[in-house]
Amino acid sequence: MTTVYEGELWTIQSFVSGFQNNAYLLSCNRTGVSVVIDTPDQPFELIEAAVKTDVQAVLITHNHLDHLQGFNDVMAKIEVPVGIGADDAHALLSKPFGQVDVSHGNPISYGDIKLRSIATPGHTPGSTCYMLPSEQPGATPHVFTGDTLFPGGPGKSGSPEAFTQLVSSIENELLTLPEDSVVLPGHGSSTTIKESQNEFEVFSKNPRRNGLYGDVTWAGDNS
Ligand SMILES: [Zn+2]
């Protein structure tokens, strides 16, 4: 477990699973309420930390197995409403838990935690990012990007159409966020919107072949 951020209002901890997935626990310092972001395999450390807080919701960034392998383990200990993008929700629909509305732009508020859902289709149809806006001077905004945006590039896309959709989601919904926002992805280390803007600028100026998709990096040879 790593404390990623400790501000006046909220604290963010990250947990790395066996498949190098990041789960996050976001807690309100004042009230002790919290939100879990993603449930990868072997979530025991995540659960141990989460049960010390008052968990209100589990938010899923997208329907890929590596982000959900620990879902049943988490739910066995913390039965709370779940949020997942509507186009990815089929994986969880049979589960009896309440649902958090994570449609685009929807505010999600617990204690001093004020999140906003951002629909970012492309990596999966229902991929959703969660933005934690700055609510006080000096507080750093954060965005949980799942497999949509990583340091150095977008997540994997399954077709040229999905890649176009993914780039459009990133360009229109993520790179327009405050540039000091910290990007907390579903795998690996963090970056910032500013760094991502700079990397994307290189990508958008370089030649790009038609039909590009798959494992693309912003600085790679995509011609
Ligand atoms: Zn994924």
CA 48 to each of CA 25, 52, 78: distance values in angstroms, whole numbers, following the listed order: 11, 7, 11
The CATH-assigned architecture of domain 2-205 is: 4-Layer Sandwich (3.60)
Which residue's structure tokens are 């929700």? Answer: 89
Distance 61 CA to ligand 1 centre (A): 9
CA 164 to each of CA 38, 59, 60, 148: distance values in angstroms, whole numbers, following the listed order: 25, 25, 23, 12
Distance 24 CA to ligand 1 centre (A): 16
Distance 123 CA to ligand 1 centre (A): 7
What's the rounded Cα separation, in Å, for the pair 197 and 55?
34
> In this predicted model, what pLDDT tens digit does every residue of 142-191 receive, in sequence order?
999 999 999 999 999 999 999 999 999 999 999 999 999 999 999 999 99
Distance 66 CA to ligand 1 centre (A): 7
Distance 181 CA to ligand 1 centre (A): 22
Q: Where are the domains of the chain?
A: 2-205
pTM > 0.75: yes or no:
yes
Distance 32 CA to ligand 1 centre (A): 30
Distance 109 CA to ligand 1 centre (A): 26
> In this predicted model, what pLDDT tens digit does every residue of 126-143 receive, in sequence order?
999 999 987 666 679 999
